[in-house]
Structure 1
C-alpha cells in the first residue's frame, strides 16, 4: 500500500511494506542518497509484520521525484515528521541506511519527542568536514552514482544488465534475494522504453550529499542526540572493497555516547547489508530490541 503525504513542495510517496496488526509499533525506514523505499524489501520480510514499516521514497526520488525543493537533510527531517503526523503516530523507531541514517539521526536531534530510538545501518556517524571544495569531495564519494543519473537505458533489462557489472551489487542479482534486489532497482526507473533513466533529481542528490559531508548540525546529531541508537556497519565498501565506510577504529574516533550500541554486520558490503540474510536478521534483531 502506498500513501500520499503532503509536504513542502508536493506529495511524498510512503510505502507500507508488509502487513502488521493494528497497534503494532511503527518503524520508518529511510533509504540512501540514490536509493528508494524498496531497498528495505528484505528487511520487511524479516520483520514479518511484527512492526508497521513505513518507507517513504524521499523527496527527489522514485515516486516522490516530483516533490520540489527545498533540498537537504533538514527538509527530509521535516518530511519524516509530516509522515508521522499524517499517520497519526506520536513517535516511531527510525531505521536509516547510508544517507538515510543521517536523516534519522538529524530527525531525532531536531524532533526528539517524535523518535523513540534509532537503528542506523552503515551511516549516521559525523566526521570533520573535508577541507577544500565540497563538490570535489562529493565527487570522490558518490561520483559513479551521480554519473548514472544522466544515463539512459533502452529498457528495464538493460538497466539490470548495467547493475550486473557493479562489483557490490551485481552478484546479488543472482542470489536467492535477487528478485527483491531487482524490484528495488527497477523502482528507480522512469521514462518510456528507449529512454529509461533514474528517477533521482541530481540537484537533490548534490544538496543532500553536501549536508552529509559538511553540515555542522548533521555532523553532530548522533554524537549530541539523546535517542538510544544501534549502529550496524558493513565490513566492505561501496564497490565491495575490503575497507568499509565505517570500522571499529573510525567509530571509536567519532566519540559516540554510551547510548549508541555498536554491532558489526559481518562481511557484507554497503549495499548487500540490506539484502544478505545474516545482515538482514541482525537488522531485524536491532529493530526488535529497540521496540
Structure 2
C-alpha cells in the first residue's frame, strides 16, 4: 500500500459547509466519488485510497457527520444526493465511478436518479437496496432495530480518546482487523461536548441519523430511484452485520427477492467480511480496490 493523506476542502451547501476529503492523484487520473455510511466519515476510505494510489478519491463527510455535523436543515437521501452534486460542481468533477457503503449506497442510488449526468457507474457495498426493516415502529425504534449499539453510541460520552478507543476495541466486528488507520478514523469522529466540559462525544448527529434511517426505510425515495436505475450497478453483500452477527443486512431470502426485483443489478457476495470490515480493514480495502479497478476499466472502455 502507498501512504496517502487527504486534503480538506470546504464546499458550500444548503444549510452550511460540507467538509470533503480529497486524495489527489495525477491530473489525468480517474476520479471516484466515495460515500460513507450512516455514522461514518470520509476517513472510512483511507485504506481504499492507499490501495489505489493512481486514483483520485473525493469523499465528503455527509451532513450531520464528521466535520459536516453543523450543516443545518433537513437531511434524507435527496438532501445528501444534492450535496454530492454540489461537491462535484465545486470541484469541477464528473466521477468515473461512485463507490458507496451502507447508507451511502442508498444516497448513491438517489444521486443517480436526481443527477444522472454525474453518474456513470455505481458500486454499492452492503447497502442501496431496501432492507428487511420491521414495520410499524416509531422512528427511535426503527433506528434501534436496524443500527442497535451503533446508534446507542451517539448518546454516549467519553473522557478522552483513549476511552473511546477502548470502547471500540471490545467491538466484535474488529476483533481481527485493528489498524492505525482504523484508530485515526475512530478518533476523527470525536468532538467536545456542547457544554464546554472535558468529555467527548461522537460527531454524528442522532437526529440526522433518525431522519436518514426513516427516509431510506419508510419513504419511496429509494425505491423510486431503484425503479428508474439506468446506470451499470454492482452490489457487494457480506454475510455478517454490524456486530459480526449472521445474517447481515441482507438475509438470503430477502436478498434473493431483491435481486429478482432488480435484475439489472449485478451481485457479488464476499463471505469473508462483516458490514464494517468490507471497507474498514486492510483485506477488505484490498478486495474492494480490485473491484474498483475493474469497474474503472469498464467506465473508460
- Compute the TM-score of the two structures, normalised by the length of structure 2: 0.89
Contact (CA 8 Å) 1:126, 1:220: kept in 2 or not? no
Contact (CA 8 Å) 1:268, 1:279: kept in 2 or not? yes
Contact (CA 8 Å) 2:78, 2:221: kept in 1 or not? no
1:40 partnered with 2:45: yes
- Tell me, in whole angstroms, the C-alpha distance in 2 between the residues paired with 1:179 and 1:37: 16
> Following superposition of structure 1 onto structure 2, how do residues 224-235 of structure 1 map, counting pairs within 5 Å?
224-235=228-239
**More displaced 10-residue stretch of structure 1: 122-131 or 110-119:** 122-131
Cross-structure match for 2:285:
280
Deviations 1:158-188 (CA, angstroms, capped at 9, x unpaired): 0000111111135432xxxx11111111110
Shift of residue 256, structure 1, vs aligned partner: 4.7
For the structure 1 residues 132 and 78, does the alpha-carbon distance in structure 2 shift closer, same or farther, using more than 3 Å as the test?
same
For the structure 1 residues 281 and 180, does the alpha-carbon distance in structure 2 shift closer, same or farther, using more than 3 Å as the test?
same
Cross-structure match for 2:121:
117
For the structure 1 residues 266 and 74, does the alpha-carbon distance in structure 2 shift closer, same or farther, using more than 3 Å as the test?
same
1:198 partnered with 2:199: no
For the structure 1 residues 27 and 256, does the alpha-carbon distance in structure 2 shift closer, same or farther, using more than 3 Å as the test?
farther
Q: How many residues align?
A: 285
Please tell me the root mean square deviation across aligned C-alpha atoms, in Å. Answer: 1.8
Classify the secondary structure of the residue corresponding to 2:172.
Answer: coil
Contact (CA 8 Å) 1:154, 1:193: kept in 2 or not? no
1:261 partnered with 2:257: no
**More displaced 10-residue stretch of structure 1: 109-118 or 254-263:** 254-263
Cross-structure match for 1:241:
245
1:11 partnered with 2:17: yes
Contact (CA 8 Å) 1:230, 1:286: kept in 2 or not? no
1:80 partnered with 2:84: yes
Contact (CA 8 Å) 2:239, 2:273: kept in 1 or not? yes
> Following superposition of structure 1 onto structure 2, how do residues 138-217 of structure 1 map, counting pairs within 5 Å?
138-173=143-178, 178-191=179-192, 194-217=198-221
**More displaced 10-residue stretch of structure 1: 210-219 or 130-139:** 130-139
**More displaced 10-residue stretch of structure 1: 123-132 or 70-79:** 123-132
Q: Runs of 5+ in structure 1 lacking a partner? A: none
Deviations 1:132-166 (CA, angstroms, capped at 9, x unpaired): 12422222111322221111111101000011111
**More displaced 10-residue stretch of structure 1: 234-243 or 250-259:** 250-259
Classify the secondary structure of the residue corresponding to 1:12.
Answer: strand
- Compute the TM-score of the two structures, normalised by the length of structure 1: 0.92
1:104 partnered with 2:105: no
